[in-house]
Chain A
Amino acid sequence: MSSLFLIGDSDKKSSKSDGSNIQNSTFSKLLNFAPPFCISFHQFEVMAEPAYTVASDSETTGEEKSSSAFPEIAIGIDIGTSQCSVAIWNGSQVELLRNTRNQKLMRSYVTFKDEIPSGGVSYQLSHEHEMLSGAAIFNMKRLIGRVDTDPVVHASKSLPFLVQTLDIGVRPFIAALVNNIWRSTTPEEVLAIYLVELRVMAESRLKRPIRNVVLSIPVSFSRFQLTRIERACAMAGLHVLRLMPEPTAVALLYAQQQQQLIHDNMGSGSEKIALIFNMGAGYCDVAVTATAGGVSHIKALTGSTIGGEDFLQNMMRHLLPDYDNLFSSRGVNEIKSMGLLRVATQDAIHKLSFEESVQIDVDLGNGSRICRKVNREEFEEVNQKIFEKCESLVIQCLLDAKVQADDLTDVMVVGGCSYIPKLRNLVKSICKRELYKGMNPFEAAVSGTALEGAVASGISDPFGNLDLLTIQATPLGIGIRANGNSFVPIIPRNTTMPARKELVFTTVRDNQTEVLIVVYEGEALKAEENHLLGYFKITGLPPAPKGVPEINVCMDIDASNVLRVLAGVVLPGSQQPVVPVMEVRMPTVDDGHGWCAEALHRAYGSNLDLVTVQKK
């Protein structure tokens, strides 16, 4: 006990450079080993007014907003795996906000080097390698809301900070290396710190408090991951108005541009079908949209966790076949070598978009040096699987949208990878079209979120520039476990939102009194290969032979993308439910949900099973 007090005491008195103090604070940090959601954001008070606190939705702010004559315009944020940007409708057009270093695109990372963690919005890296020293966490968009059995988390273990897995379906352990101490954090915390910086930056630019935001998210994000993004926003004092799949934000910008053409008497008002291919550092997404009159109707979405990071990792392993062995231990020197290789490889990949070959010369400092020429074909060969996956995403999206390449009016390639020649060519060849030139590939998604921010805030434009609408589609199917271990979708993928669908199930056992409804999201045929969203039991079924009770499971997604699952039981010949209807807002799962599904299966086996009722 007394030693604890001593630590607190010495913290106050002694200076940072005091060696003993470093040890003490190490100890106190070790005591706080649990992933700290409790990071104190009051630290940021020194940086800006007003005070930022980790708060839930406050009622008073809402009232203020509605009483104001001018509704607050929500800002749009594109949280990229590698880069972030912020934009707002400035009254006549979308404007990207710049940080104090005059950057519109800011690196996505947070360094824990100093007392107060700081991110790429405000912090100036002395050199690229500083980000790779172990003290900085990046690629948080790839880690957020994933459990430690996820292959994406495993791939992240080669990043120059600590990603530790127990492979049991709990959240991974993530830590930054500061003064030879692994300081634990979470993706939500890192994202929240970063969002606070973005918020401070936007507030100083716009000279008003910012509360409402529209964020772009990858198509493949599960609803659980969306709650993690919302959580990070809440920690940063931001209220999420909308989360838009990235290519749908680009689609909205396209819809606005087409409207503009009509206003300028340059376009026809007829329906246009466009394909958007969006690939950044972490994710690759495709959308097909049908657009007319400022309305973007999303016909289909496909997405996958592949991106520039995979190109980079494949290239690093190609250049240094012993990569995984060399970096299996994570000392300061290994991390430094890893960082050097990363920077050199990244540079080479960038150059290969514009040059046929490039010379790499990097001393990894551990006795090994890579000095060789790399050409574009080599890069394409090493990453062939990724390009194939991209192709399949485009083809699948066209198929899902029931659109032929010939039906397309425009084709867009946007995002951080959009200059890679092979990617441009494969999209062009599948779509049989030249690429659309009307938008900046790095700013398209954030511009779309800013438009949605203005529209969702109820802002109108005298020239009709905001008479816009996105009709979203569900990026993943949502359903329940039934017929043994199968996933039975109730709302299929690419269903127009808002949506409400139902399906009838029945019992598998005579006198079965309980059924377990386990809700999943995804595309896999086996239930457990999808994302678990939640579960509940319906109890008190009256004794009846198997197959007799009709269990009606209804899923409802409203325009704000809130999912509700309703389940009721009726016996044949009656219209009245025999037990009260269950209504559950999903997702209900918390962390460690990988465990949950397994535990449910073990505990209940097939005792509470369901089967679908075949339609007669």
Chain B
Amino acid sequence: SLYEVPGIKLVVCLETPPVSILLVLEPHERVLGVDKSASQQEIKKAYYKLALRLHPDKNPGDEEAKEKFQQLQKVISILGDEEKRAVYDQTGCVDDADLAGDVVENLKTFFRAMYKKVTEAD
């Protein structure tokens, strides 16, 4: 089972163990896939490998590198954080615009509130 994050251009597959990364850049698909069973350490490892590959410093002249790298940052800000990942696991979606900085704190409550609604409706 894979995560799907709207607004993200990367497809990342983590195979465990050992961790291997398959990176597919699909401008139209906009899907991030990470195996839900991946451990924090495996996600972090994948992140660092991807960062080394996607950072604009490593892709001089590539106009899209900056955007790709920023998207990777958005992904890791959720999946790299146990709590946020758990919230995300439960709600399954992310408000892209609200990921930045301090707003993330509010996001947690937002998610929780939303999750509550869903269970109530269920």
Contacts and interface: CB of A to CB of B under 8 A. Distances in A.
A496 B52 contact: no
Given A271-B41, A293-B45, A498-B69, A469 B51 contact: yes
Interface string B22-54: 000000000000000000010011001101100
Among A271, A501, A558, the most chain B Cβ lie within 10 Å of the Cβ of A271
A465 interface: no
A271 B66 contact: no
A289 to B, nearest CB: 12
A293 B66 contact: no
Interface string A339-362: 000000000000000000000000
A471 B55 contact: yes
B60 interface: yes
B102 A297 contact: no
Contacts of B49: 293
Given A469-B57, A558-B66, A295 B101 contact: no
Contact of B51 (A471, A492, A495, A500): A471
A600 interface: no
Given A271-B48, A293-B49, A559 B56 contact: yes
A292 interface: yes
A597 to B, nearest CB: 26
Interface string A490-522: 001001101111000000000000000000000
A295 B56 contact: no
Interface residues of A, number: 23
A270 interface: yes
A155 B58 CA distance: 43
B52 to A, nearest CB: 5
28 contacts: A270-B41, A270-B44, A271-B41, A271-B45, A271-B48, A292-B44, A293-B48, A293-B49, A294-B48, A294-B52, A295-B51, A297-B51, A455-B57, A458-B60, A467-B52, A469-B52, A469-B58, A471-B51, A492-B101, A495-B100, A495-B101, A496-B73, A498-B69, A499-B70, A501-B101, A558-B66, A559-B55, A559-B57
A269 interface: yes
Secondary structure call for the B interface: helix
Interface of A: 269-271, 292-295, 297, 455-456, 458, 467, 469, 471, 492, 495-496, 498-501, 558-559
Contacts of A471: 51, 55
Contacts of B101: 492, 495, 501
A449 B69 CA distance: 23
A295 B70 contact: no
Given A455-B57, A458-B60, A559-B56, A492 B45 contact: no
Contacts of A499: 70
A467 B49 CA distance: 10
A436 B66 CA distance: 34
B57 A500 contact: no
Contacts of A496: 73
Contacts of A559: 55-57, 65-66, 69
Given A271-B48, A469-B55, A498-B69, A492 B41 contact: no
B102 A269 contact: no
B39 to A, nearest CB: 11
